[in-house]
Amino acid sequence: MVYIHGGNFVHMSGGSLLYDGSVLSQKGEVIVVNVDYRLGALGFLVTGSGDGDAVGNYGILDQRQALKWVKENIKAFGGEPGRVTLFGQSAGAQSAMIHLASEESSALFHNAIIQSSPFSIPYKTHAEAIILGAHFASLLNCTARDINCLRQKNSVDIAQAQFISRGKLSSLRYLEEFEPWGPWVDGVTVKAEPITAMDKGFFQKKPVMIGTTSEETRIYIYNAWDKPIDTVVYTAAILATHPNHAVEIMYEYPPDEPQDQRNNLAVLATDFIFGCATRHVTRKMLDYGVSDVWLYIYDHAFSFPGWGNMTFCQGHVCHGSEVPFVFQSAGRGGFKYTPDELSLSDLIISYWSNFAKTGDPVGMPGSGVKAVPDWPRYHVEIQQKQWPYQHFRTPKSFVDPKYNAPYCDFWDKVGYDN
């Protein structure tokens, strides 16, 4: 199981204690490989398209090189080169989807687990990437395409310029500003925008497990606005994000909390960017002939104080809430699971590892994997009636046949362009 970490393409490391794979490896009886890749400007800077220019998407190429290494070397560690599962969360999930759409990456893995990919956040165009690169260079007192000047700067200056440049305007697309450093659509390494790639069938037909948490964007909304927002700001955010359907969206998600609209905005954004966009993607997979697709919703707010000073996520299922349960790594941070939480984590590890070993989270007859409750896969007949999720929560997880269906039906009608 090869894991690509998240972190907005600028933060975190595969060596983080949060991603310690020892429990997943031991309980799931799998080999876990965590990879690092170049982040921020070092991984995604674009200065132009000529000889000597930085052309971006280096972080994605790093990941592919790691997959090649695994294919060539994992047998020496007791692994199977013909049974590699790629999994990732957030930016790592976006990365996994890029590899799923890549012919060059296709031969390097066999299954994919997509945890919380923000499908409605667009990738940069070449022009937008150039503008961001110019802001970055200016902050380092270099001209936009002077690679030699940029290479003379030390890591501290680069990190500071990278951080400040994130706040500079490089796109008129509102959501793009939430992920300023990251992939751009070059048509080769990155085929197309995330939703567009799925709509056009730009992906390999491999077994996929895919899902989100129930309150994905709360962490982003409350970080962006550290004070209550009124209806005017709420309306402005909708207009900036989806101007062609703003009235319909306001009708579907009315501002019913006059003192503070942040929770309403988080519910709306979670559906649009994550939850409903993910359901849309699973339907496209079926349309293009992928027969092995499993969808989940993670809906448990952990009991321990793992959010630190982000107290607005305590008691909520924010983006990333499932990660310490996939890896059962909370103990590395000095936290302790309740008995119900430990059972939930064990269940998730069983599904994830069964999928890695057999291509099915439940396992296959005679496979010898740990027995788990049924998790229906999707097929054309079931699509006409319902869209069941594996609903992860305590004290007991269950199959939810129509989770959030009316709102996702709405977003399927108005579309995910922004």
CA distances from 75 to 66, 70, 79, 353 (A): 15, 8, 5, 18
- Answer yes or no: 128 catalytic: no
The answer to whether 392 touches 348, Cβ cutoff 8 Å, is yes
Size of the chain, expressed as the number of residues it contains:
418
Kindly give the pairing relationship between strand 293-298 and strand 389-392.
parallel
Give, rounded to a whole angstrom, the gap between the first and last alpha carbons of the chain: 34
**Which of 90, 117, 165, 329 is labelled catalytic?**
90
**Which of 216, 322, 345, 397 is labelled catalytic?**
216
Q: How far apart are CA 322 and CA 296, in angstroms?
A: 11
Number of H helices, E strands in the chain: 18, 8
**Which runs of E-coded beta strand occur in 152-279?**
208-213
Q: How far apart are CA 309 and CA 303, in angstroms?
A: 15
Q: How far apart are CA 191 and CA 334, in angstroms?
A: 42
- Answer yes or no: 90 catalytic: yes
Buried b (16+ CB within 10 A) or exposed e, 127-165: ebbbbbbbbbbebbebebbeeeebeebeeeebeebbeeb
For residue 296, give every residue at least 6 positions away whose Cβ sits within 8 Å of its Cβ, in sequence order, or none. 209, 210, 211, 375, 389, 390, 391, 392
- Cite the active site residues: 90, 216
